[in-house]
Amino acid sequence: MSKKAAFATPDGPIVYKKRSRLMETWNSLKTNPGAVFGLIVVALYILMMLLSFVLYTREDVVAINGKEMFLRPSAQHWFGTDEKGRDVFTRIMYGSRYSLAVGFGAVGIGLIIGVIIGAISGYFGGAVDILIMRFCDVLSAIPGTLLCMVLVAALGPGLINLLVSIGVTSIAGYIRLARASVLATRGNEYVEAARAIGMSEVRIALTQVLPNSLSPLIVATSGNIASCILSAAGLSFLGFGVPVPLPEWGALVSGGRTYMLKAPWMTTFPGIFIMVITFACALLGDGLRDALDPRLKK
């Protein structure tokens, strides 16, 4: 019997069917054009990154070619060439690994650590909560970029350290958000109902409260992917990011800045790539939030 039939008829089949949350989320996501667009774009970006591993070597993107400087976009160089005669398209393709790694990696670090600490803070309260909130206050009192630079300087240069630094810098925001969300969810009576059947606090926190507190975090996360990519760009520009000849997208934008009038393609194309992934992540995040909330399902 198909699942549709089991739900459609008013007095009809009453077969118990485990409703798969994953399938229902997917079904709901499918019907949201924005989310589908976002998903396709993210998939294309990942595909691009994978392809770049196969197609190009490090040599291809750092080698200087004095004869082909500042060429306009053409059939041969789709996105033109830069001040050292390197193909911009190739550099963008190759650079996707850095930008995506920083975007997703930093957000992952911030999200996981932030949610764990924030949930503890919101759920258990008391002295722990106060301590954690003061820690957040301190963390957010320091300007983000400065904190990042300090961390990179302390950890040393390199992609992983960059990613960790950006992630850590965003933790305070996640903690606050997770805490607020958990606090709101914790007050629901179903939490007390779980207590009344004998569930332990930890179990309640994990099985009842946390799953119902995630929506705002998902939205924030999707927005943050973009801002992490931008942070990485800024840091690269200041010399704290990925080492110079490597084509991290932010570095491409800031590197081309000097030739804005002479060769606008040098900044425009990487800029568009950053913008599109930002937009796609936001759409996907919105769609995911709706799809994950059973109350919003049709």
Partner 1 sequence: MADNIIEVKNLKKYFKTPHGTVHAVDDVSFNIERGKTLGVVGESGCGKSTLGRNIIRLQDPTAGQVIYDGQDITDLSNQQMKRMRHDLQIIFQDPYSSLNPRKTVMEIISEPILFNKLMKGSSKQDVEKRVRELMDTVGLAQRLINSYPHELDGGRRQRIGIARALSLNPKFIVCDEPVSALDVSIQAQVLNLLKDLQKEMGLTYMFITHDLSVVNYFSDDILVMYLGMVVEKAPAEVLFKNPIHPYTKALLSAILVPKVNGNPDHISLRGEVTSPINPPDECRFTRRCDYICDTCKAGTPPLIEIEPNHFVACHCVKPEGITLQRTVGV
141 binds partner 1 (CB under 8 A): no
Buried b (16+ CB within 10 A) or exposed e, 24-37: ebeebbeebebbee
Among 5, 17, 63, 244, binds partner 1 (CB under 8 A): 17
Q: How far is CA 225 from CA 29, 186, 222, 285, in A?
A: 20, 28, 5, 10
Question: Is position 4 an interface residue for partner 1 (rule: CB under 8 A)?
Answer: no
Q: Which long-range contacts (CB under 8 A, 24 or more apart) does 143-146 make?
A: 144/169, 144/170, 144/231, 145/231, 145/234, 145/235
Stretch that binds partner 1, among 6-14, 105-113, 120-128, 171-179 (CB under 8 A): 6-14
> Measured from the CB of residue 211, what is the shortest distance to partner 1 in angstroms?
6
CB 190 → partner 1: shortest distance, Å? 4
Q: How crowded is residue 225: how many other Cβ atoms within 10 Å of its Cβ? A: 24
Q: Which stretch binds partner 1 (CB under 8 A): 13-21, 104-112, 239-247, 266-274?
A: 13-21
The interface with partner 1 within residues 50-79 (CB under 8 A) comprises none
CB atoms within 10 A of CB 162: 28
What's the rounded Cα separation, in Å, for the pair 222 and 232?
16
Q: Which CB, 77 or 186, lies closer to partner 1?
A: 186
Per CB under 8 A, the list member of 76, 134, 190, 244 interacting with partner 1 is 190
Please name the amino acid found at residue 266: M
Q: Which residues bind partner 1 (CB under 8 A)?
A: 6-7, 10-14, 16-17, 19, 21, 187-190, 192-200, 208, 211-212, 293-295, 297
